[in-house]
Amino acid sequence: MESDDTAGHPFVVATVLDPAVKAMTDFPDILRAAAYRHVCKLVDDTGTRVEEGDGDETHESDELPPKRAKHDVRSAMLSFIARRGDPTQATPTAEFDRYLGMVTAPECDLLTWWREHGDVYPHCAAIARRFLAIPSSSAASERLFSATGRLVDKRRSRLLPEHIESLMFLNRNK
């Protein structure tokens, strides 16, 4: 596989966005460089959309946006200090470079880390939300279809959610 094609694979992007393994020491140098370029381009594209007012989060005009999570004093202070650094770090590319240069503990929890550092790396966090929300497998949904029997397997693309729910109820309550 070409390294540029492989660099765009969700697994590779998620690896770059995992603070514990972002160094990608087990990957070939060519693939690591291509993955960093790809994620950097994604971060730049996200930064452009945010600046143009077309961010990831869209809300209905009559619907209130969700409340922001409250941060503790320490997290807020660290966030403020990180953002108030030198002015060259204002670009999304510089933000991604800071993220790559940051040393993290190898046993950190991925989702908790991004929740705590999302305001320090807002463009990278937007990409992380998009890629880390992808389920790693479809085993759970396949298991549900298998539990309902062979009839469902043949016609699963034509089933309505209500019918699946009814079949699951009947199967579980035999």
Q: How far is CA 157 from CA 86, 122, 148, in A?
A: 54, 38, 14
pTM of whole model > 0.85? Answer: no
Whether 13 and 42 have beta carbons less than 8 Å apart is answered as yes
Contacts of 13 (CB under 8 A, 6+ apart): 7, 35, 38, 39, 42, 127, 131
Tokens of 55: 């961010």
By three-state DSSP, how is residue 91 classified? coil
Whether 51 and 139 have beta carbons less than 8 Å apart is answered as no
Please give the average per-residue pLDDT across 101-114, as a whole number: 82
Tens digit of each residue's pLDDT (9 = 90 or more) over 57-74: 444 445 666 666 555 677
Tens digit of each residue's pLDDT (9 = 90 or more) over 82-95: 655 554 456 888 99
Say whether pLDDT at 149 is over 70. Answer: no
Please give the average per-residue pLDDT across 44-64, as a whole number: 58
Question: Residue 34: its pLDDT value, please?
Answer: 92
Question: Residue 38: its pLDDT value, please?
Answer: 93
Whether 76 and 120 have beta carbons less than 8 Å apart is answered as no
